[in-house]
Structure 1
Amino acid sequence: MKRAFIFFGLFSLALAFGLVPLAFAQESDQAASPQQGSPEEEEEIKIDEQMEVVGIRRSLTTAAEIKKVEVGVVDAITSEGIGRFPDTNLAESMQRIPGVSIDRRNNEGNQVSVRGFGPSFNLVTLNGRQMPAAATQKQEGDSTAEQSRAFNFAEISPDSIAGVKVYKSSRADVTTGGIGATVDINTARPFDLGERTLVGSIKGLADTSNAEGEDFTPEASFLVSDIFLGGRFGALLTGSYSVRDSRESFVGTDGWLRVGNANIDDSAIDRSLNPTGQVWLPRNLVVDQSDHERSRFNGQAVFQFVPNSRFKATIDYTVSEYEDTIERSQTGIWFESPNPSGATDANGTVINPTINSNPATNVGALDFQGYSDVVKTENDSVGINLDFQLADNLNFTLDVHDSTSEAQPDGISSDFLVILSGPLGVSTTVNYDGGDIPSTSINDSDVPIVNPHLSGGYDDAHGLRPNIDLLRNKGVKNQVQQAQFAGQWANLSGGALRSIHFGAAVTDYEIDTSWIFDLGVQGQPACATCNDLVTLSETEFTEVFPTTLIFNARSVFDEFVGGLPSVFDLTNANKHRVSEETTSAYVQFDWEAEISGMPFKALGGIRYEKTDVTGTTIQNNPEAMVYISPTEFRAQFSDEETAYSLADEYDVFLPSLSTSLELRQNLITRFSYGRSLARPDLNSMKPALLIGDARPGGPYNASQGNPGLKPYISDNIDLSIEWYYQNGSYAALTYFRKWVDNYIVSVINQGTIVGDLGFELTDPNPQDDPNFPANTAGGPDDEVIVWDILSFENGESASVDGWELALQHMFQGTGFGGQLNFTMVDGDVEYDVRALDQSVALTGLSDSANLVVFYETSRIKIRTAYNWRDEFLLSANQLRQMNEPVFIEAYGQWDIRLGYDLLMRGGMTIYVEGLNVTGEPMKAHGRFDNQFLLYAEQEPRYNVGLRSRF
């Protein structure tokens, strides 16, 4: 955390050079000011209320005013005061906006969806600048997870954020990339704050799920800002650092495989529902216990120079570091081989799969896995903004920035795994009855008693057999270099045309990804020393596995470094780069007039963009498929690297028009039309052919990206009516519709793959012989594998429409107030669970609602919030099975905040926050309700803090 020490060191220097004494000196000066009630003091308090008074009411009133004065459909959230945002996580604050929903990871807000469009369809900018995003996904292979452009809000602290605007309707002067919305995050600036300001906060975080870490972890932040040199120079420094210790506990199934029915009783299948008799078998069932230690640092330095009233220069540097160290233990059953049995329901879902381990063949059915994971992201951004007022009616700005986001910097391994196979002789049946959690029936009576003092059951550590060690790492580096020029001509002579906005920009977007895979395999007999390396523990889900064995992956690997060697001919490393060079220009006209005495505003313009795309892959090509076990195939790769590169280009015109008409005072109707775009996810643009999940007997999955994919193009309309009936209070009803063309679809084609040795990749064990020797490579005379090759193309279209209802009311003179909003979203392409070849899926589409109730006086601040999101399609691909959906079930969460100002004018506040206070779990299922995928416990989190401002 070198950057954190640098920033907090700067803060210490600021204190040493007298900023705090100066702040206290101000208080002394105020003590010598005129008596309370004098005109001078009343004027001072009035100014203070306009510039400094914080609180829920002020924040909501400001956001309502922003919404009112905008011409298009714009929503906003603003800080309740410098360094104080409504929620502890920026995404969790944004979910209060109508139409905005969030995804959660480990019970923390992660990414945003807007109006039913998932994170990849929304662009996030920082002070108007397009920002990079890098993430490390938990995945089986390089081709099995989407590489999204979406920004991860868990990485940014809200302490230095002044406000957020969500542009739901299109504008020519707003950076493109979001069909759902463009989200612009604005940070504090010295001249915006004005006088000398010092803000600091410290709080303790208590995550009730924590088991191994600290019960209370710290979070601290500061902001220092001042104006120097007679008002010509301003400087601001902010920093925040937080640690969160937590335990993540879940039951999960990686995917529902489409299989044959050799040992499955399929007599219950209703052929009117399932004409082909397709059978779905769960890949596995696991209980996962993960202990997290998450740290986050954010810092920003801003310097502004204003030599005269016509020029302002701003230089800023923003940095963040996010790191999550995870120790995971997992107990799991794997069903797909050898030959599980069971029976299906009417849909074809195997509802009671049974698997037996076979002592005669040394094949087991139950494994214990230990992970040592590190997820780390570093973000840096440096920018310069020059603002020139060349004449009274002409203004120019030039903004340049260079920003980088890097996941797994310096080659840090993200995923290290060791598998200890359970004792032989265990038989397990799982009951997928459609309940929250499947139940299991374990028969371990045939497990030999290795030690007479132990039971000889499935969790007998003496029966463990060291099996596999595995290292996976997905490294990502995303860099955005952008130069933006903007001009504004103001019509000072009167008339309907008020101003003309124009500009141009050049954006270089480059993302590098690297995938490293290193597998070590060595089946072992029962080990005598395993008992010293594992701990027997009761699970959170006793109906699945009453007990589990917990161990550290690194410790076990070190113990068996001679017995579990890396199989280097299975090591795979490949690198990918996608480069986009975009040149854009726009012009926008701003009109104001009256129609029959009603104020009318219009904002119309057009934007042109041209983008050159290049996709490059450097990889070791596969030579042959290697048989690992009855459940595992891996590719053997050549020693030489091969580079592939494909290029394409596209250009677009994006018109937009927004109008507002004030029918009568404070009753406003709006209409907007605009064309917007969203660019494809990056994983779908890699040109190389990549082997994914491959199992003896199938499935055999591979994928190939397409750099020639065109962007999604959406024509959008918005129609709203809004009534601002008193200060801070309004009611609004909005209808929206989006027609999306060039929708990117996934297509699976069957074909063979020619390896680097010149023959098509083959199956070395087509008879699925469980005694077949491990590490055997397929040769040219073996049976050729026919692969399911996932590829991507444009061509489909879809439309989404919906309604947003919002009500915000301040009960005048009582301190009470509240918000209520509800969003209904519908699309013309609904995911058909009966169709096996659906190519279009609208992810993220769901209804949502928010309720916020607060009570606020000069000292007391109480806020309760409820957020609800209906079931939605998260992905059209499961981890272990392409073209199988992941549905997140309906979810609701209660949050509370209690605050008390220790000083009359709000200079020091003590507060308590509770998030997900009822401990609502997260649940997911596949194609049908009983195709269980996930049940994740989510315990309440509480924060106790003190915030002070001078």
Structure 2
Amino acid sequence: MLLFKPSLLTLALVAAGASMSAYAADDINTTEAADENIEVVKVTGIRRSLQESQSLKMSSSSIVEAISAEDIGKLPDVSIAESLARLPGVSAQRLDGRANVISIRGLGPDFTTATLNGREQASVNDNRGVEFDQYPSELLNRVVVYKTPDASVMAQAIGGTVDMQTISPLTHGEQTIAMSLRGEMNDLGSLNSGSSDTGYRGSISYIDQFADDTIGIALGYARMMSPNQEERWQAWGYPENDAGDSVLGGAKPFVRSSELERDGVLAVFEYAPNDKFTSVVDVYYTKFTDDQRLRGIEIPAAWGTNGGVTSTATEDGLVTQGTIIGAEVVIRNDVNKRDAESLSIGWNNKFTINDSWSIEADIALSKAERTDIGMESYTGTGRGTGVGAVDDLGFNYNGNGGYDFTHDLNYADPNLIKLGDPLGWGSPLGANTQDGFINKPEIDDELTSFRLSAEYVFDQGDVRSVEFGVNRTNRDKSKLDKGYYLTLAGYDGTDNYLVSVPEQYLLSPTSLDFFGMGDVLSYDSLAFYNDGGYTETDVADVDLSRATNSWSVTEEVSTFFVKANLESELFGFPLTGNVGIQAVHTDQSSDGTVATVEDGVVTLTPRTAGDTYLEWLPSMNLGFEIADGQMLRFAAARTLTRARMDKMNANVNFSYNENPNDGVNWSGGAGNPELRPWLARQYDISYENYFSDQGYFSLAVFYKDLENYVYDQQTNFDFSTILPQNPGDNPIGNVSQPLNGNGGYVQGIEASLSIDFGIFVEQLSGFGTILSGSYNDSEVKETADSDPTTLPGLSEKTFNATVYYENSGFEARISSRYRSDFLGEVTKISLQRENVNIKAETVVDAQIGYDFTESGIDALYGLSVQFQVNNLTNEPFTSYTGDDQRLVRDYQNYGRNFMLGANYKF
């Protein structure tokens, strides 16, 4: 007997939805309590989505948040990440104007696990965090965020688990064909020659049932060609001048134009010959290409200019106005291109033996591959410093996103601006011979899993059932990081060898008027490279750090679990929930490289290292129905999040000092293949009041006691383990590497409210709002005496608000999401990752639409139209240096994206 009784409408909504994930079996039992003869009330659009999401939250044994599709192929937002960012305690970080990765309860992407139908997913980035813009929202039916785990959750994480779920064709129960098409435009226009400010996205889905509803199929295809434009200011840094004021060290402003092309395919095959056996095969594939052209200018200021910087105005310790004397600038024509593919295949089988026993077997494969090209091409007035034409650049702080400039030279003149190495950035073939650079990293990630479990249901007693089983996961991830210095193919060794850009590669000049530098020379640098315009020098031959950037990591994880599902009473209150435990055994290893320089040449030696360990993870989720429609939940668990894979490599680079001051001959840097996971004990209390089928209030507090944290530390290292033939008299040296250190805590409070105003006043029927907010706090220290460490992804405050109207086919909504300052991970030089301070932001989106099904016009039945604006207020993305937000590191202006489209279902 189910003690907590949602309304009949709620039960019908649960029963009408997609299949739940493999570890949400408790929630599926809710549908069995629904009477087969329930008359289902037809609910569509925004309210359908809200009601299904509420029913999932209400019936779950864990503390969860959920997003459900308004209709087939129609989630509330254009991307999964943007939808997730509207949930309580969840925030997103933008990349190139689109939501990309998420943080849950103040813990960044490293502490979040993503699953598809309950199965952990491989990722295209250097770590484990899934980039959610890889997954077309049109092919997903719902997303559930599990904030508290139970023992049957295999892919646990300290922050939370995000489960993306596809549809169940047999549960859907009717033949459906749905199509959508929408056009897209960016209001910044085409900033680079050859780029486009228009694009489109479309999808088609087909769902059907055969053989007396014993066979079901769901097929879907989604394609997106999305434009993205950006005006970007970047600063090198802000050193102090002789007066002690911060002054611009240098700048790299540019404009970026990109086309994001994504294809997604979904196939679900379901077979249920009777009520005892169900078999489901699902396949999910995406192909993702992001082609970016970046054109701009590098301006040396306090760093790198021969004439220095004069100051004419300062404000509170910052030079706000002045002149860069004798500036030698570099005109950049760069290309970033990413090709990524993701494939997920799963086969799930459930068999009910009798009224007491059932078994489940699940096998899955998830693969991800990524290839990047990051190319830089340099032009200027001379090869090396002090030989070309110079410019006196006036600058003025604009109070928002950097500085505005004045100039004298014509930087679009092909007779003045020529190919070469204007600032002498490298010398692969002699002095001043780095005329460009290209990075070509590749990522391969493969994850296989097998799960076998059983459940025994008791006839009576406080324990409703017991589940137990085993899960085996094997993961292999590797990175091949190649980089090359580029030198002009015809370079003859002369001091000032420059080449005019061949006419066939020249493009229309690019405007940098947004910060006052006018037009700059533009050309197709990638075509010039592909046609043999440069010779290449492998950086790994001369650079120790590059030689140890490639790695591979292997993990074999065996998880044994047992969980008791409870149904009882305590202190007179109905009680449901579960208690359980996992035993997690991990065998991890890495293949890497030992690199050192001998006689000016990098010498490489293979190295393999690793470790094994066992962790016990108990968990408890208890829910008390303290009144009709009111739940009080308690949860406690010990959870783990595995360490970053890019830090688990076995690489070591080192050097030998014959005459050290401290007596230590050996020093270097290393990864750590013995790195243990982050561990935490977490405690949750949640109050939920469901006062209508589309209205609830919830308040939750949580505390996560972090047992450890990973820090980059100096440690003693025995070099005789990697140099057995020649360890020297003292083989113990100093190495900088990631290590498990002291922990701390993360705590917070979050609240959410969903109201349909029609329940109060009939005249307000169709109006509603969804509000949520959270406050997070943390303290993590490397040692008891050290300063607290800022946790990546932690925003102290987040707020979300959506106001909507839906009635008689018409719908409108406006949504806003705010997150305060946080430490985010971004790309730096050579496509490496670094953490920077990111400024608070408020992103606003708006939609209006009409469903002609409500119009009474038979010919238009099933047709709906929508108009949408993303980033309505044109909110920039800003990072800054230190604590002074005026010291802007990176200011990105994306503009607004407008979309107009239609959906048709029959």
Fold equivalence (TM over 0.5) = yes
Letter in 1 for 2:229: R
Q: Distance in 1 between matches of 2:394 and 2:156?
A: 45
Query: How far apart are 1:380 and its partner, in Å?
Result: 1.1
Match of 1:239 among 221, 224, 237: 221
* Aligned residue number for residue 662 of structure 2: none
Deviation readout 1:461-517 (Å, 9 max, x if unpaired) = 4243522132211100100000012222212x2221111122210000110110011
- Structure 2 counterpart of 1:823, which letter? S
Q: Tell me which of 500, 508, 531 is aligned to 1:529.
A: 500
Aligned-pair distance for 1:727? 2.2
Which of the residues 786, 799, 803 maps onto 2:749? 803
Q: Where does residue 169 of structure 1 map in the other structure?
A: 148
Q: Contact 2:638–2:681 (CA<8 Å) still a contact in 1? A: yes
Q: What's the CA shift for 1:373?
A: 2.7
Q: 2:330 aligns with which of 349, 364, 367?
A: 367
Q: Which is worse superposed, 591-600 or 814-823?
A: 591-600
Task: Show CA shifts across 1:197-239 (max 9, x none).
Answer: 2111111122223414444422111111211122222222111
1:592 corresponds to which letter in structure 2? Answer: E
SS in 1 for 2:743: strand
Structure 1 Cα separation of the partners of residues 782 and 901 of structure 2: 45
2:740 counterpart (794, 798, 816): 794
Of 424-433 and 642-651, the range deviating more from structure 2: 424-433
Provide closer, same or farther for how the CA distance between residues 191 and 44 of structure 1 changes in structure 2, counting only shifts above 3 A: closer
Equivalent position of 2:418 in the other structure? 464
TM-score (norm 1): 0.78
8 Å contact kept, 2:412–2:519: no
| 1:57 aligned partner | 47
Please list every run of 5 or more consecutive structure 1 residues that lacks an aligned counterpart in the other structure: 1-42, 136-146, 258-263, 270-279, 358-363, 445-454, 626-635, 693-700, 761-786
- Map 1:694-709; keep pairs closer than 5 Å: 703-709=669-675
1:629 match: none
Matches within 5 A, 1:345-424: 365-408=328-371, 414-422=373-381, 424=388
Tell me how far apart the structure 1 counterparts of residues 469 and 320 of structure 2 sit (CA, whole Å).
Answer: 60
Match of 1:248 among 230, 233, 244: 230
1:565 is matched with which residue?
A: 535
CA–CA separation in structure 1 for the residues paired with 2:831 and 2:213: 62
Superimposed CA distance per residue, residues 877-931 of structure 1 (whole angstroms, 9 cap, x where no aligned partner): 9659999951110111111111211123972211111111121111110113233
Query: Which residue of structure 1 lines up, in the alignment, with residue 259 of structure 2?
Result: 293
Q: What is the rounded CA distance, in whole Å, between the counterparts of 2:307 and 2:876 in structure 1?
A: 31
Contact 2:254 2:512 in 1 (8 A): no
Q: Which residue number in structure 1 is paired with residue 9 of structure 2? A: none
CA–CA distance in structure 2, aligned partners of residues 708 and 595 of structure 1: 45
Question: How far apart in 2 are the matches of 1:674 and 1:915?
Answer: 39
The equivalent of 1:438 in structure 2 is: 402
Alignment partner of 1:822 out of 753, 773, 784? 773
The answer to whether the 8 A contact 2:206-2:220 is kept is yes
Which of 181, 196, 221 is 2:175 aligned to?
196
Farther-moved stretch of structure 1 (869-878 vs 913-922): 869-878
User: Which of 897, 915, 918 does residue 847 from structure 2 map onto?
Assistant: 897
Q: Give the Cα separation in 1 of the matches to 2:789 and 2:398.
A: 27
1:268 pairs, out of 244, 261, 278, with: 244
Residue 946 of structure 1 aligns with an amino acid whose one-letter code is: A
CA-CA distance at 1:62 after TM superposition: 1.7
Between the aligned partners of 1:947 and 1:457, the Cα distance in structure 2 is 48
- Structure 2 counterpart of 1:843, which letter? P
Q: Which residue of 2 aligns with 1:643?
A: 606
Question: Conserved in 2, the CA contact under 8 Å of 1:168 and 1:182?
Answer: yes
1:103-151 CA-partner distances (Å, limit 9, x unpaired): 111111101111111111100000000110013xxxxxxxxxxx32111
Question: Could you tell me how far apart the structure 2 residues matched to 1:864 and 1:897 are?
Answer: 6
1:740 matches 2:706: yes
Q: How does 1:747-896 map to 2 (within 5 A)?
A: 747=713, 790-812=736-758, 813=762, 814-829=765-780, 840-846=789-795, 847-875=797-825, 886-896=836-846
What's 1:360 paired with? none
2:663 is matched with none
Deviations 1:771-801 (A, max 9, x none): xxxxxxxxxxxxxxxx997421111212111
Q: Percent identity?
A: 24
**Alignment partner for residue 200 of structure 2, among 195, 218, 227?**
218
Q: Residues 463 and 527 of structure 1 are in contact (CA less than 8 Å); yes or no, is this contact kept in structure 2?
A: no
Distance 1:877 1:738, change over 3 A: farther
1:549 aligns with 2:514: no
Shift of 1:180: 0.9
Task: Find the aligned partners of 2:469 and 2:37 in 1 and give their Cα distance.
Answer: 41
User: What letter is aligned with 1:517?
Assistant: G
> Match for residue 631 of structure 1?
none
Of 651, 676, 683, 1:688 maps to: 651
Structure 1 Cα separation of the partners of residues 592 and 575 of structure 2: 53
Distance 1:665 1:194 in 2: 32
Q: Could you say what secondary structure the match of 1:611 adopts?
A: strand
Q: How far apart, CA to CA, are the structure 2 residues paired with 1:63 and 1:710?
A: 36
Distance verdict in 2 for CA 1:655–1:948, change over 3 Å: same
Preserved CA contact (<8 Å) 1:396 1:486: yes
Q: Does 1:665 align with 2:628?
A: yes
Kindly tell me the number of residue pairs found equivalent between the two proteins: 807
Question: SS at 2:47's partner residue?
Answer: helix
CA contact (8 A) 1:287 1:541 kept: no
- State the distance in 2 between where 1:472 and 1:502 align: 48
| Structure 2, gaps ≥5 residues long | 1-34, 383-387, 422-434, 656-666, 727-732
Aligned residue for 1:530, secondary structure, equals: coil
**In structure 1, what is the Cα distance between the partners aligned to 2:553 and 2:540?**
26
Conserved in 1, the CA contact under 8 Å of 2:362 and 2:451?
A: yes
What is the one-letter code of the residue matched to 1:525?
Answer: N
2:445: which partner in 1?
478
* Structure 2: distance between partners of 1:716 and 1:61: 29
Distance 1:337 1:207 in 2: 36
* 1:600 partnered with 2:575: yes
Q: Is the 8 A contact 1:740 1:798 kept in 2?
A: yes
Relative distance call for 1:757 and 1:229 in structure 2 (3 A) is closer
Tell me if the contact between 1:889 and 1:925 (Cα under 8 Å) persists in the aligned partners. yes
Matched ranges for 1:3-22 at <5 A: none
Deviates most, 299-308 or 877-886: 877-886
Residue 641 of structure 2 corresponds to which residue in structure 1? Answer: 678
1:934 is aligned to 890
* Cα contact 1:504–1:584 (8 A) shared by 2: yes
Asked if 2 retains the 8 angstrom alpha-carbon contact of 1:462 and 1:528, the reply is no
Q: How does 1:444-459 map to 2 (within 5 A)?
A: none
- Tell me, yes or no, if the aligned pair for 1:210 and 1:246 is still in contact at 8 Å: no
Q: 2:396 touches 2:405 (CA, 8 Å); kept in 1?
A: no
Question: Structure 1: which amino acid aligns with 2:501?
Answer: C
How far apart in 1 are the matches of 2:405 and 2:717? 40
Judge which range, 818-827 or 202-211, deviates more: 202-211
For CA contacts below 8 A with separation 6 or more, give which structure has more relative contact order.
1
Distance 1:157-1:434 versus aligned 2 partners, 3 A rule: same
Whether the 8 Å contact between 2:631 and 2:688 is mirrored in structure 1 is yes
